Amino acid sequence: MMYRLLILVTKLAINALALIVADLLFDGIGFDSTQATVGAAVLLAIVNTYLRPIIVLFTLPLNILTLGLFTLVINALMLQVVAWVMRPHAHVEGFWTAFGGALVISVVSVLLNWFLRPGSVKVRVERR
């Protein structure tokens, strides 16, 4: 149980750091506070877990036709959904800003997951 919680917190921290990097790189992406960034990271994880697979399934022929590049469009739409839900505290201006932000978030997330390897964390408890 504690192992899964540690992995979840690590992945949420990676999402939050990726959102911060996107916020720093793009003027059209912004969050009001640290709490808004963490909330956006949690909401992005929820949207990517439940909504994204349904959209990927419905757009599968288009995704196959574009050799998977349409997934970047889906990621941009998911980022816009998160900004729309958190409207007063987060904003993404326009599709191309969301597209660039989603690309940056994907690259940063892949790099941080590769370096931190949250799935291979070993928790060892010793009693003395």
Q: Per the domain annotation, does 128 fall within a domain?
A: no
Share of the chain above pLDDT 90, in %: 62
Q: Is the pTM of this model over 0.85?
A: no
12's tokens: 């949420």
Tell whether 126 is covered by a domain: no
Mean of all residue pLDDT scores within the chain? 88
Distance CA 49, CA 4 (A): 16
CA 42 to chain centre: 8
123 within a domain of the structure (yes/no): no
What CA–CA distance (Å, rounded) separates 85 from 89?
A: 9
d(CA 66, CA 112): 27
> Could you tell me if 21 and 110 are in contact, meaning their C-beta atoms sit under 8 angstroms apart?
no
Is 127 among the domain residues?
no
pLDDT tens digits, residue range 23-54?
999 999 999 888 999 999 999 999 988 999 99
Residue 3: is its pLDDT beyond 80? Answer: no
Domain-located, residue 11: yes
Which tokens go with 94? 């326009």
How many domains in the chain? 1
Q: Which of 41, 42, 36, 47 is nearest to 19 (CA)?
A: 41
Length of the chain: 128
Q: Which residue has the tokens 């003395």?
A: 128
124 lies in some domain: no
The answer to the question of residue 104 being in a domain is yes
Quote the domain boundaries for residue 112.
2-118
